[in-house]
Chain A
Amino acid sequence: MNNPQLINTNYSKIVQDGLWNNNPALAQVLGLCPLLAVSGTVINALALGVATMLVLVASNLAVSLLRQYIPNEIRIPIFVLIIAGFVTIVEHLMHAYLYNLYTVLGIFVPLIVTNCAIIGRAEGFASKHSPMPSIIDGISMGLGFTGVLVALGVMREILAQGTLFADANIMLGQWAKTVTIFEDYDGFLLAALPPGAFIGLGLLLALKNVIDQNMRKRQSSRLTVEVLDSNAVAVISQPD
């Protein structure tokens, strides 16, 4: 038991990284093609986010289990094969059980294979860690990605159509209803078009930077106070 990683894995750091600090969409800025193309409505965003997360967890687990047996020189093609396998499974499952959703998302389900956030985690995390941390990493990275997708979907759908959860029934079943935010809304087409996605993502990135800056400022001010306090204690206790 010489491997320190096995003994004390910092799970809360993995979760924090995936959800915020190293968020695939907002910090690594990976996987933007599906992010921008499918965030037109909340339901599309949620569906693609969940599908990506399933693939990410499964591929992280598989890569982590096989990491001792994958030759370093050809690891990337092997990762791609593993990911493609899981994407095919997810695609067939959607085709079988959520056919309407499958037709709406179209090419973007198979395209999960090319989502560099997934291969990035396989290369950067799963191939160096044991299965349990890899699964946690997959879940938190997947949730982080889904969160950004849904946030963008909410912004774009409200602005473009004045609704939320339009066509929710194709994913969640008959009970789901569309929520109308603005009655008699003419629609702001720009939000539904590609520029709306780029502007929305830009605003989200800016928001994350502002929040990070404020947190850093607060942390550094707290640190100086602590340092001052400990100095004070040192000064007081010096006469001994």
Chain B
Amino acid sequence: MEFSQLQHYSPHTPAQASVSRVMLNVMLALIPGIVVYIFFFGWGVLVNIVLASIFALLAESLVLAVRKRPVFTTLLDGSALLTGILLALALPSHSAWWVIAVGVFFAIIIAKQLYGGLGLNPFNPAMTGYVVLLISFPLEMTRWSPPLELAEQSLSLIEAFRYSFSGYLPSSMDLDMISLATPLDIARERVDMGMKLSAVRSEFSIFSLLSGKGTEWINVAFLAGGIWLLFIRLIDWRIPASLLLAMGAAAGVFWLINPEQYLSPLFHLFAGATMLGAFFIATDPVTASTTPVGRLIFGAGCGLLIYIIRSGGGYPDGVAFAVLLMNLSAPLIDHFSQPRITGYKKPEEPKP
């Protein structure tokens, strides 16, 4: 039947944005965060992004060619590129090229294409790639760069590229100058050793007003990008809001119990990958819950899990594991949170 022959009744909804447009807007929203990241931590993250994007496009075209799918048109949807960029942002800057390659290939080929491609993958590809790297190469994955402010010397763009490919550093520098524990790591480690938080925060110069030097501003920038995404209605408010609320509430309760042992809610909200995770990773439309109530549960679950993994786990941050665990439960959440059909009333309970 021709489209024009169909009868049209109200209500009408405007045409949904195409996939490539959605991906483009998400990438635009990431730009402030990336710029601030480079400003505070140097060129490493840009090298990550360039390499990860190239590997992502390579991996996607490879699989599409094997599956005899249209390569060029599918690449243009931008989903592979976005996966690469998100993974690059999750990695420590100055990651070696082979670490990035393994992560991206795993994310694109195994976590996404082997399940059938975009829209059919149950797990967030970027986070799957990150977790594979985290459990496979623990040493490489804990070399976080110090903020430029604290580093005596930093790599130029060319040197950063060369370091990623050959591991070669200029003769005046050594590995210690480009790797440092993150604020979350330091806080957890020292408190476990019995130090008071106030003492930790004054002893280590990496701590700042909200969380860590540089980290807090990156989080603010990602928050701004996320709010823009909310404003143009590309993402639903429910997942980020419930994620941040649940995380803040959990952190708040423990902070009120003992502020010398537990980090404040503000610290948690602006540390690590909180804002990136809340607005850009947990909101992935393919792997998150889709019902309104389900999204609230999904976000709250992510928030609680991030807090639990950060406080009790041994990993740098908890966002990736939390999102993957909630991806796993998303179909179940959706099943039990279907919205009521219009006009349907609950049957009255028979009176005893």
**Size class of the contact patch on chain B:** under 10
CA distance A136 to B157 in the complex (A): 66
Establish whether residues B110 and A193, one from each chain, have CB atoms under 8 Å apart when the complex forms: no
> Counting chain A CB atoms within 10 Å of each CB, which of B102, B132, B138 scores highest?
B132
Establish whether residues A189 and B137, one from each chain, have CB atoms under 8 Å apart when the complex forms: yes
Task: Answer whether residue B135 sits at the interface, using C-beta atoms and an 8 A cutoff.
Answer: yes
Establish whether residues B110 and A189, one from each chain, have CB atoms under 8 Å apart when the complex forms: no
Closest chain-B Cβ to A211's Cβ sits at a distance in Å of 16
Task: Answer whether residue A73 sits at the interface, using C-beta atoms and an 8 A cutoff.
Answer: no
Question: Who on chain B is nearest to A193 by CB?
Answer: B135
CA distance A190 to B138 in the complex (A): 11
Task: Answer whether residue B153 sits at the interface, using C-beta atoms and an 8 A cutoff.
Answer: no
Establish whether residues B110 and A199, one from each chain, have CB atoms under 8 Å apart when the complex forms: yes
Closest chain-B Cβ to A136's Cβ sits at a distance in Å of 37
Establish whether residues B110 and A188, one from each chain, have CB atoms under 8 Å apart when the complex forms: no
Task: Answer whether residue A186 sits at the interface, using C-beta atoms and an 8 A cutoff.
Answer: yes
CA distance A189 to B136 in the complex (A): 4
CA distance A186 to B138 in the complex (A): 11
Residues of B contacting A: mostly: helix
CA distance A190 to B132 in the complex (A): 7
CA distance A226 to B135 in the complex (A): 55
CA distance A186 to B167 in the complex (A): 15
Query: Could you count the A-B residue pairs with CB atoms below 8 Å apart for me: how many are there?
Result: 14
CA distance A186 to B99 in the complex (A): 12
Q: Mark B3-38, 1 if CB is under 8 A from A, else 0.
A: 000000000000000000000000000000000000
Q: Mark A62-85, 1 if CB is under 8 A from B, else 0.
A: 000000000000000000000000
Question: Who on chain B is nearest to A199 by CB?
Answer: B110
Question: Who on chain B is nearest to A202 by CB?
Answer: B114
B-facing residues in A191-218 (Cβ within 8 Å): 193, 199
CA distance A189 to B135 in the complex (A): 7
- Cβ of A190: which chain B residues have Cβ within 8 Å of it? 132, 135-136
Question: Who on chain A is nearest to B98 by CB?
Answer: A186
Q: Mark B124-146, 1 if CB is under 8 A from A, else 0.
A: 00000000100111110000000
Question: Who on chain A is nearest to B138 by CB?
Answer: A189
Establish whether residues A186 and B137, one from each chain, have CB atoms under 8 Å apart when the complex forms: yes
CA distance A188 to B110 in the complex (A): 16
Closest chain-A Cβ to B100's Cβ sits at a distance in Å of 15
Closest chain-B Cβ to A5's Cβ sits at a distance in Å of 43
Question: Who on chain A is nearest to B140 by CB?
Answer: A186
Closest chain-A Cβ to B135's Cβ sits at a distance in Å of 6
- Cβ of A193: which chain B residues have Cβ within 8 Å of it? 135
- Cβ of B136: which chain A residues have Cβ within 8 Å of it? 188-190
Closest chain-B Cβ to A203's Cβ sits at a distance in Å of 9
CA distance A188 to B139 in the complex (A): 12
Given A190-B136, A199-B110; 12 other pairs, CB 8 A cutoff: A186-B137, A186-B139, A188-B102, A188-B136, A188-B137, A189-B135, A189-B136, A189-B137, A189-B138, A190-B132, A190-B135, A193-B135
The 3 closest A-B pairs by CB, nearest first: A190-B136, A189-B136, A188-B136
A–B Cβ pairs within 8 angstroms, 14 of them: A186-B137, A186-B139, A188-B102, A188-B136, A188-B137, A189-B135, A189-B136, A189-B137, A189-B138, A190-B132, A190-B135, A190-B136, A193-B135, A199-B110
